[in-house]
Amino acid sequence: MLNKLHLSLLSATVLISSSAISALPEGYPADYQKVVDAATKEGKVVVYSTTDTKAAGPLIQGFEATYPGIKVEYNDMNSTELYNRYISEQASGGTSGDIVWSSSMDTALKLAVDYAQEYPSPEQRQLPKWAVWKNKAYGTTYEPVVFIYNKRQIPAGEVPDSHSALAKLIASQTGKFSKKVTTYDIEKSGLGFMLSAQDSKADPNYFKTLADIAKGGLAVQSSTGTMMERVSSGENLIGFNILGSYAEARAKTDPSLGISYPKDYTLVLSRVSFISQQAQHGNAAKLWLDYVLSEKGQSILANQADIPSIRNDIEGKNDIDGMTKMLGNALKPIPVDESLLEYLQPKKRLDYIKEWRTAAAK
């Protein structure tokens, strides 16, 4: 009787295991179920992220529904706070994030150089080559950087569709735009600094353009949310270097907020993610990263969180294909590679900030 019971249990285990393996997505390793089992024993994954908790909510819910034994401990910070906290925790040897997921691509890659573990995600075959760095750091989104404006205060015929048009509009109406133009404070926002540095690479006349844009005086902020709120209310009239994903999400329910995609060049940001070498929940971290990059996870980002997908096989227009049809050659994706580190050298960073402050009259 005991032998029959033992055989019955063994058969059930084999069937469950076979079923789980057969249910794995195409291209996943045959032993991936071992990662799932180990992750379930770990019980949670700790994510350090710059993505707003509200925007990440559907993704977290989808992950926890797919892996009901694993909870997501989600820590939402600005890019500078994330970088400083993670560095401090790594230095002290204390507990820290299993996953880093940051919109500040340069500081995220700098962390990855020193602290990321190598993990060849089975989803990487669906990603552009520029979005994968040494099987350690991964671009996870495809987010154009846009202008926003107050629809009540700026007529449709005046809405700028290029950086030079933005500069001309402000320079021609300095009274109207006095202290009414907003962008990131590049000294307080890692994301803001990175986008400004990328602007200078894309536009040889960047600092001249910036000086014209700043003729009325810039109102600098450290968060996208603050800039959108001020433009919507009319406290500011126009903003530049704004994450299009957040702007599009807000514009759906805010009739005052307009969005313009610059046609001379549109920077495309990709939030960088990696698994920490010292991850306490390393298997759960692998599941999270793979889920974020998967068709299911990317579909949630694109269609529920309004964050464009880095894949080209997502239903709807909010992926690489959809953005390419809309903006074509204007799109300038920022690659996940060592070029991001150029302006993080202390002297070069300080010199750049000085030049920016001079042009921006700050």
**pLDDT tens digits for range 319-349:** 999 999 999 999 999 999 999 999 999 999 9
Residue 94 neighbours by CB distance under 10 Å: 9
Rounded Cα–Cα distance for residues 247 and 100 (Å): 23
Averaged pLDDT of the chain: 91
Residue 169 · residue 207 · CB < 8 Å: no
What are the start and end residues of each CATH 3.40.190.10 domain in the chain? Answer: 2-141+271-318, 143-268+341-359
**At 304, which amino acid appears?**
Q
Helix axes 105-115, 190-202, angle to 10 degrees: 110
Q: Return the closest-CA partner of residue 143 out of 25, 224, 217.
A: 224
Which of helix, strand or coil describes residue 244? helix
| Chain-centre distance for alpha carbon 315 | 20
Rounded Cα–Cα distance for residues 164 and 205 (Å): 10
Confidence category of residue 280, pLDDT binned at 50, 70, 90 = very high
Confidence category of residue 23, pLDDT binned at 50, 70, 90 = low
Q: For position 45, what pLDDT does the model report?
A: 98
**Distances from the Cα of 115 to the Cαs of 91, 109, 197, in angstroms?**
11, 10, 24
**At 36, which amino acid appears?**
V
Q: For position 15, what pLDDT does the model report?
A: 39
Average pLDDT over residues 244-257: 94
Q: Return the closest-CA partner of residue 83 out of 100, 68, 71, 99.
A: 100
Confidence category of residue 46, pLDDT binned at 50, 70, 90 = very high
Residue 292 · residue 273 · CB < 8 Å: yes
Phi, psi of 19 (to 5 degrees): -65, -40
Rounded Cα–Cα distance for residues 171 and 211 (Å): 9
Q: Is 134 left (phi over 0), alpha (psi -120 to 50) or beta?
A: left
**Distances from the Cα of 293 to the Cαs of 6, 121, 124, 132, 331, in angstroms?**
40, 9, 8, 11, 21
Average pLDDT over residues 285-296: 98
Q: Return the closest-CA partner of residue 119 out of 296, 309, 288, 337.
A: 288
DSSP calls for 100-128: EEES-HHHHHHHHHHHBPP---TTGGGS-
Strands 181-184, 218-221: parallel, antiparallel or unpaired by DSSP?
Answer: parallel
26 has pLDDT over 90: no
**DSSP 8-state assignment for residue 345:** S
DSSP calls for 133-185: ETTTEEE-B-EEEEEEEETTTS-GGG---SHHHHHHHHHHTTTTTTT-EEEE-
Q: For position 1, what pLDDT does the model report?
A: 47
CATH of domain 143-268+341-359: 3.40.190.10
CATH class for the region spanning 2-141+271-318 = alpha beta
Average pLDDT over residues 192-221: 94
Residue whose structure tokens are 């700790």: 46
Average pLDDT over residues 153-157: 95
